[in-house]
Amino acid sequence: MTRQLEAFRFDLAAQALYEFIWDEYCAWYLELVKPLLWDETASIERQRGTRRTLARTGNGLRWHPFMPFITEEIWQRVAPLAANPARP
């Protein structure tokens, strides 16, 4: 994505970001961790680690150049979780 932005290929940069978010993050990782997050017998450490990964991956929303107002709103809700990994 960075290479495409530097080359002013905003179409390809947006496509790369779209593919990562939907094909990797949402379709794969979110579906993989849902059972752990809803498992009442899972250790709190595993759940916190999973939430931290979700929040840190969302960290890229801070610099998202394609939908700044939407991603800023999302980031304002996710940022406290990324800053404090001990938070449940």
For the segment 44-71, what is each residue's pLDDT rounded down to a tens digit?
Answer: 898 888 888 877 776 565 556 677 777 7
Residue 54 lies in a domain: yes
DSSP 84: -
What residues make up the domain containing 29?
2-83
- What DSSP string runs through 6-75? HTT-HHHHHHHHHHIIIIIIIIIIIHHHHHHHH-TTS-HHHHHHHHHHHHHHGGGGGG-SSSHHHHHHHH
Classify residue 43: in a domain, yes or no: yes
Please check whether residue 45 lies inside any domain of the structure: yes
Specify if 88 maps to a domain: no
20-42 pLDDT, tens digit per residue, is 878 887 778 888 888 988 898 98
What's the mean pLDDT in 2-25? 85
| pLDDT of 88 | 44
Does residue 32 lie within any of the structural domains? yes
- 40 neighbors 73 (Cβ within 8 angstroms): no
Number of Cβ within 10 Å of residue 82's Cβ equals 20
Average of per-residue pLDDT across 12-24: 83
Instruction: Tell me: pLDDT of 83 over 70.
Output: no
